[in-house]
């Protein structure tokens, strides 16, 4: 496929506001997980919570979009000079030809949770509750579209934890078929009680910071994040990092458990390699989906063991951010770009004894070395698999 150049990107997560904060956290081993203090009856777990989000209300003019999810989206837009980069893009590309594709799993569902609590307490819906502007899956996309002044194709993708990885695939399809000339992709997912208690009911939440691929791993740490990237064709950038390939597949196996042999995940990785016209020996690092549940990590390991040499460096970065669900794809794509630009392979924070039965070359500590090409995996409920391949290129 023709690579899409990444000309700007921005991120906010528990690991920090902006890409420099995230890069420093990864290099210094400073994770963002904390004991859970979210909600009126916090579960005994750890979370990746973005600091001070409660004290950043939207402006009066955005009242109908008010929710934690859109606050988080705006916070990310305001980092890393991204708003300026979008204005520069609009000076080169007609805004009607710029696509906007965002991923989320639960959008602003917290606002509906709070509205029901008020209804139960007082018998009335709260005055400021507005479903379409907060909970609706298109809410964040519409909010971001208005903030950026875009007029091109726009939609939300909600495929659980692969949501904001799959938007890269949609962007490439829209650009390659001539429906737009550039795209802004990203994702936003914020903490809510639905996901915390939902994952807990499935016995997938850990009582301590998550330990992906550790022999004593026992579940996930849920986090929240937002991130955005600009993708362009036929351009030059200082960093030269681009989307080189992508792959998508479905396990068609189970609603909440991955296919144990990892065949579906492996198909997505093969597609990404084929689109990029690269071999497994040309991949310097794999950013694993790595949720830290026993079954997910084993299925992903099975898929990688069938494809890649056992020496390929792998790690999961969810120990820094938590599992940011619908925002995991964009957050870890940004980490992939950081590793290429700054030359390092992140470790797997909190993991001390990698499970020897999984057979992967798990990196426990961050190390500095040149990185040219990175594969980033994102796998969601229902067996929704997506693999993205990033690397340096000249265009």
For residue 281, CA distances in Å to 263, 307, 309, 310, 375 come to 20, 10, 7, 11, 12
Cα dihedral sign for 159, 160, 161, 163?
A: positive
Query: Of 172, 192, 323, 337, which is the active-site residue?
Result: 323
Closest CA to 225 of 63, 62, 138, 104: 104
Q: Residue 337 catalytic? A: no
CA distance linking residue 1 with residue 334, whole number of Å = 21
Closest CA to 105 of 145, 67, 69, 51: 69
**Are 350 and 334 in contact, with CB atoms under 8 Å apart?**
no
Q: Residue 161 catalytic? A: yes
Query: Of 289, 314, 337, 386, which is the active-site residue?
Result: 289
- Structure token pair of residue 365: 């500590």
CA distance linking residue 355 with residue 364, whole number of Å = 12
**Are 163 and 380 in contact, with CB atoms under 8 Å apart?**
yes
Cα dihedral sign for 357, 358, 361, 366?
A: negative
Query: Of 67, 130, 161, 210, which is the active-site residue?
Result: 161
Q: Residue 130 catalytic? A: no
Beta partners for residue 103, in sequence order: 157, 187
Q: Which residues are catalytic?
A: 161, 289, 323
């Amino acid at each position: 496929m023709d690579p899409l150049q990444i000309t700007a990107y921005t991120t906010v997560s528990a690991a920090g506001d902006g890409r420099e904060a995230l890069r420093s956290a990864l290099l210094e081993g400073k994770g963002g997980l904390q004991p859970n203090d979210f909600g009126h009856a916090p579960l005994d777990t750890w979370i990746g919570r973005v600091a001070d989000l409660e004290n950043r209300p939207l402006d009066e003019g955005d009242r109908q979009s008010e929710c934690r999810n859109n606050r988080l989206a705006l916070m990310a837009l305001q980092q890393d000079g991204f708003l300026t980069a979008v204005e520069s893009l609009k000076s080169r590309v007609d805004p009607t030809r710029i696509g906007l594709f965002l991923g989320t799993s639960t959008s602003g569902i917290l606002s509906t949770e709070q509205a029901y609590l008020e209804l139960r307490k007082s018998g009335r819906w709260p005055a400021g509750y507005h479903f379409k502007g907060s909970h609706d899956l298109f809410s964040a996309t519409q909010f971001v579209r208005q903030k950026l002044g875009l007029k091109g194709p726009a939609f939300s993708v909600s495929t659980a934890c692969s949501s904001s990885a799959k938007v890269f695939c949609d962007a490439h399809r829209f650009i390659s078929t001539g429906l737009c000339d550039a795209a802004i992709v990203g994702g936003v997912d914020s903490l809510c009680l639905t996901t915390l208690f939902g994952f807990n009911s499935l016995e997938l939440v850990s009582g301590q910071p998550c330990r992906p691929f550790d022999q004593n791993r026992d579940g996930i740490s849920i986090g929240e994040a937002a991130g955005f990237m600009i993708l362009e064709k036929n351009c030059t950038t200082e960093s030269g990092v681009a989307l080189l390939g992508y792959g998508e597949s479905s396990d068609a196996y189970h609603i909440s458990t991955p296919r144990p042999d990892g065949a579906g995940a492996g198909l997505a990785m093969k597609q990404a390699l084929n689109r990029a016209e690269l071999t497994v020996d040309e991949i310097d690092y794999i950013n694993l989906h790595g949720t830290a549940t026993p079954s997910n990590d084993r299925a992903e390991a099975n898929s990688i063991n069938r494809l890649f040499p056992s020496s390929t460096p792998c790690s999961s970065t969810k120990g820094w951010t938590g599992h940011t669900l619908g925002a995991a794809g964009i957050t870890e794509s940004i980490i992939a770009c950081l590793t290429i630009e700054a030359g390092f392979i992140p470790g797997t924070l909190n993991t001390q004894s990698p499970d020897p039965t999984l057979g992967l070359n798990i990196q426990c500590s961050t190390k500095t070395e040149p990185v040219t090409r990175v594969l980033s995996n994102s796998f969601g409920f229902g067996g929704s698999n997506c693999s993205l391949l990033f690397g340096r290129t000249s265009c």
